[in-house]
Copies of this chain bind each other. A is one copy, B any other.
Amino acid sequence: MSDIQYQAFETRQKERGIDIEAVKRELKALKVETPSWGYGDSGTRFKVFKKVGVPRDPFEKLDDAAVVHKLTGLTPSVAIHIPWDKVDDYTQLSEYAASLGLRIGAVNPNLFQEDDYMLGSITNADENVRKKAVDHLLECVEIAKEVGSDIVSLWLADGTNYPGQADIRKRKHWMEEALAQTYQALESGMRLLIEYKFFEPAFYHTDLADWGMAYNTAVKLGPQAEVLVDTGHHAQGTNVEHIVAYLLDEERLGGFHFNSRKYADDDLIVGAINPYELFLIFYQILAALRDDEHPGTQQTARRIAYMIDQSHNIEPKIPAMIRSLLNVQTYYAKALLIQWDELEDAQAKQDVLRAEACVREAFEQDVTPLLHAVREEMNVPRDPMKAFYESGYLDKIQERGVGGASW
């Protein structure tokens, strides 16, 4: 791509009244956490296809994450999942991360892979199981402290498969009790991010089924509890960006688990199925960031934790992660090109077509020249994917063989 591309881009954006330097600053500030489990094997209930070169332990996952960060400049932190990433010495783990230019991000408890949890963890009718589950949550809070992370990120897989199977409200009470205990263990500055999911692995009801339940739980717990939006965890037809705007307005949007899907929780690469939705989510976030009249909303938007949460069932893991990050960066960049004055004017005049066109126009901009320029300024390769394939890293990890980490 020749320089004329950037010149043309710059000319166009100036004509549109966009402050390119401001846009670049925002792009350089974008950080997206990658999940340790995204580097391992994953699959469907029918089959986990095992790949050569998949990391065999948490340290090798960090190695891979470091490569991604080096190539993109976007991913300084790595989420971990306990017990998948259980180690004897978490100080060692975080020091290892630091040595790679990384830090440990959100700590994710696992309340769904013990036999005890078959019928629920913190909502199990057996109080011993509930206690065990709470102990695990508390353990994860401690691990977060040890690794210097300020986020505990909870996905509760609990639910039931059949009408009548359990007392829905009793389970709600148990859940609220368990999370209150967990919340008490948080240090100041730490956040508990509460994810919701409306089906799977439970198929009749899930104890935290939607944003409303996660939000209400967060409000009950206190200001350090916020909602985590996994883009794939919604019923078909749901307007996710509306939920994002709503939670921002209520100052309870804590973070995202990015991925995409066509039908259910497909955990595909973010932005791969409906890229416009990803762009519209960023549009709502940027609108909140600009909203000087609502500083609480603004502040909430500023500290959103962006995280990838995908299952690369058939894709090579590291390239899939790079592609995901490039998608996030691309649609974020496009949202940064919204001409806000024009948009606000059209909205004020309730000019439906003009307001819509204004948002779409930003989406239509090709941000490739911009991203190339930004990456150069960040000292990362213009084309991180190409750079990865040329780096020789794929060859190097062949020695790991088949049968690395999976879940």
CA A248 – CA B319 in complex, angstroms?
A: 34
Which A residues between 307 and 356 are near B, CB-CB below 8 angstroms? 311, 313-316, 319-320, 323, 330, 343-344, 347-350, 352-353, 355-356
The 8 A CB mask of A191-217 against B (1 = contact, 0 = none) is: 000000011110111000111110110
Residues of B within 8 A of A294 (CB): 169
Binds B, one of A91-99, A130-138, A178-186, A273-281: A273-281
B46 near A157 with CB under 8 A, answer yes
Least CB distance from A305 to B in Å reads 21
Least CB distance from A101 to B in Å reads 25
Binds B, one of A20-28, A234-242, A392-400: A234-242
- Which of A4, A115, A363 has the largest count of B CB atoms less than 10 A from its CB? A4
B164 near A263 with CB under 8 A, answer no
CA A124 – CA B349 in complex, angstroms?
A: 10
Least CB distance from A265 to B in Å reads 9
Cβ of A292 within 8 Å of any chain B Cβ, yes or no, is no
Cβ of A302 within 8 Å of any chain B Cβ, yes or no, is no
Partner of A314, one of B161, B173, B365: B161
Given known A119-B350, A198-B237, A204-B273, contact A164–B355 (CB-CB < 8 A): yes
Cβ of A86 within 8 Å of any chain B Cβ, yes or no, is no
B323 near A199 with CB under 8 A, answer no
Partner of A353, one of B216, B291, B323, B359: B323
Cβ of A261 within 8 Å of any chain B Cβ, yes or no, is yes
Cβ of A19 within 8 Å of any chain B Cβ, yes or no, is no
Partner of A249, one of B119, B169, B264: B169
Cβ of A188 within 8 Å of any chain B Cβ, yes or no, is no
Given known A353-B315, A353-B316, A366-B364, contact A239–B204 (CB-CB < 8 A): yes
Residues of B within 8 A of A49 (CB): 115, 118
Residues of B within 8 A of A323 (CB): 353, 356-357
A263 near B262 with CB under 8 A, answer no
Which A residues between 253 and 283 are near B, CB-CB below 8 angstroms? 261-264, 266, 268-269, 272-277, 280, 283
Partner of A216, one of B204, B212, B280, B360: B212
CA A261 – CA B319 in complex, angstroms?
A: 33
A163 near B280 with CB under 8 A, answer yes
A212 near B209 with CB under 8 A, answer no
Least CB distance from A235 to B in Å reads 3
CA A126 – CA B44 in complex, angstroms?
A: 22
Cβ of A297 within 8 Å of any chain B Cβ, yes or no, is yes
Binds B, one of A6-14, A58-66, A146-154, A373-381: A6-14
Cβ of A284 within 8 Å of any chain B Cβ, yes or no, is yes
Partner of A45, one of B45, B50, B330, B347: B45
Q: List 7 A-B contacts (CB under 8 A).
A: A7-B8, A45-B201, A161-B266, A168-B241, A169-B291, A212-B215, A236-B236
Residues of A within 8 A of B (CB): 1-2, 4-5, 7-9, 11-12, 15, 42-47, 49-50, 112-113, 115, 118-119, 124-126, 157, 161-169, 172-173, 198-201, 203-205, 209-213, 215-216, 234-239, 241-242, 245-246, 248-250, 261-264, 266, 268-269, 272-277, 280, 283-284, 287-288, 291, 294, 297, 311, 313-316, 319-320, 323, 330, 343-344, 347-350, 352-353, 355-360, 363-366, 368, 385, 407
Q: A8-B8, A161-B266 are in contact. List 4 more A-B contacts (CB 8 A).
A: A44-B201, A119-B314, A165-B356, A211-B212
